[in-house]
Amino acid sequence: MINMKNILKILFMGTPDFALASLDSIYKSKHNLCCVVTSPDKKSGRGQILKHSPVKIYCNEKGINIIQPQNFEDEKFLKIIKSYNADIFVVVAFKILPKKVWDIPKLGTINIHASLLPNLRGAAPINWAIINGLKETGLTSFYIDNGIDTGNIISQIKTEINLNDDFGMLYKRLKKMSGNFILKTLENLNSRKVQKSENTLLKAPKLDKLNTRINWADSGKEIYFKIKGLSPKPGAWSLIKDSNKTIKIYDTIFFKGSNNYKNGEVIVQNKNKLMISVKDGLLEILSLQIEGKKKISGLDFINGIKNNKFKLI
């Protein structure tokens, strides 16, 4: 049994913005944050300038020790993290760790995952919660094991998914929730609930060019949720027929009903509404971006086009 009144020595692992709320809560808590492991700096932009991750920037501002390993199997790296003699490793929005890393601390290694496990195991749970049209999602803390997001659950917290929520909105809400959630998890480490494995579970695979493309044969609701689940990034996309230019759609309204148009056909209604036909209605496009151009509203797009008869494929 773990004495919850103890001050824990914690080694934190994370890289993107989503990890900051948890990191900040631990830093400001009674616990001892001994070190942070984050990804190596990456070159970015035309000048290929090395860019620090949000977690590294935070650590530099607070004077927190950081390690940026190129290889988790490297003996020097393993020796360094062992030398901190941390009670527990906390992982938020980081890479898959080998057993020789997560097995080091005596209390184990815990992870915060942005779904209600065992549903939506994988790299993009927030996006896929919306794409799948779920009414709720949340955060799960669990002990890392040999599987991907399969370890024993410590705690969970839920939040509703509103009809107008897009990925950006839900991301911010879950990130904010994660700050208090990690502290409650650290007070509840004796709780262990085995995850069930079922064939009906939804998955949350990494987003790629294929699974972010809009299929105009899908229902209007399915397309609506896909657009919302991929907005503002990476963006649900399609091709403009005969031009092969990519179009990304960021916001839309679905109107259920029948029409005489083909799926993906673009219609301008009343000179101020950009509509796209789907099999069970129309989607009004509120914001979009044509390849090589800036993001604009549907009305601005209408005002700038010469031929308002074209099709998306």
Amino acid, single-letter form, for residue 69 = P
* 198 within domain boundaries: no
Domain-embedded: residue 265? yes
The domain that holds 171 is classified in CATH as 3.40.50.170
**CATH number of the domain residue 284 falls in:** 3.10.25.10
Within a domain: residue 200?
no
pLDDT score of 1: 59
Q: Is the pLDDT of residue 86 over 90?
A: yes
Mean pLDDT of the chain: 93
Instruction: Quote the pTM value.
Output: 0.94
- Which of 40-54, 163-177, 248-262 has the lowest average pLDDT? 40-54
Q: What is the mean pLDDT of residues 246-252?
A: 96
Cis preceding linkage at 118, omega within 30? yes
- Inside any domain, residue 239: yes
Q: Give the pLDDT of residue 250.
A: 97
CA distances from 252 to 7, 215, 297 (A): 49, 15, 11
Do 112 and 225 lie in one domain? The reply is no
Q: Where are the beta strands (DSSP E) in the chain?
A: 9-13, 32-37, 42-44, 49-51, 66-67, 88-92, 109-113, 136-143, 153-160, 236-240, 245-256, 266-269, 273-278, 281-290, 296-297
Residue 287 has pLDDT above 90, yes or no: yes
Binned at pLDDT 50, 70 and 90, residue 272 comes out as confident
d(CA 155, CA 116): 10
How many angstroms separate the most distant Cα atoms in the chain?
71
Note the residue count of the chain: 313
Burial environment of residue 213 by CB neighbours within 10 A (0 to 12, 13 to 18, 19 or more) = middle
| pLDDT tier at 18, thresholds 50, 70, 90 | very high
Range of the domain at 244: 220-304
Asked whether residue 55 carries a pLDDT value surpassing 80, the answer given is yes
- Angle, alpha carbons 6-11-15 (nearest 5°): 140
What is residue 302's predicted lDDT score, i.e. its pLDDT?
Answer: 86
Q: What is the pLDDT of residues 174-198, one digit of tens each?
A: 999 999 999 999 999 999 999 987 7
Query: Do residues 244 and 292 both lie within one domain?
Result: yes
3-class DSSP state of 112: strand
Do residue 20 and residue 126 come from a single domain? yes
Tell me what percent of the chain is helix, strand and coil, each rounded to the nearest 5: 25, 30, 45
Cα distance between residue 296 and residue 302, in whole Å = 10
Number of domains in the chain: 2
Six-digit token string for 234 = 């990476």
Q: What are phi and psi of 218, to 5 degrees?
A: -70, 165
202: amino acid identity, one letter: L
- Mean per-residue pLDDT, 139-151: 96
Residue 149: exposure state from Cβ atoms within 10 A (0-12, 13-18, ≥19):
buried
Residue 163 falls inside a structural domain: yes
pLDDT at site 19:
98
pLDDT of 308 reads 61
CA 191/CA 261 separation, integer angstroms: 56
175 and 224 in a single domain? The answer is no
312: in domain = no
Pairing, β 266-269 against β 32-37 = unpaired
Q: Are 43 and 143 in a shared domain?
A: yes
Residue 198 has what pLDDT? 78
Closest among 182, 102, 79, 107 to 67, alpha carbons compared: 79
CA 59, 175, 227, 285 torsion-angle sign: negative
When pLDDT is cut at 50, 70 and 90, the band that residue 4 belongs to is: low
Give the Cα separation of 167 and 273 in Å (integer): 24
Q: Are residues 168 and 255 in the same domain?
A: no
Using alpha carbons, list the distances in angstroms from residue 100 to 75, 165, 280.
10, 39, 53
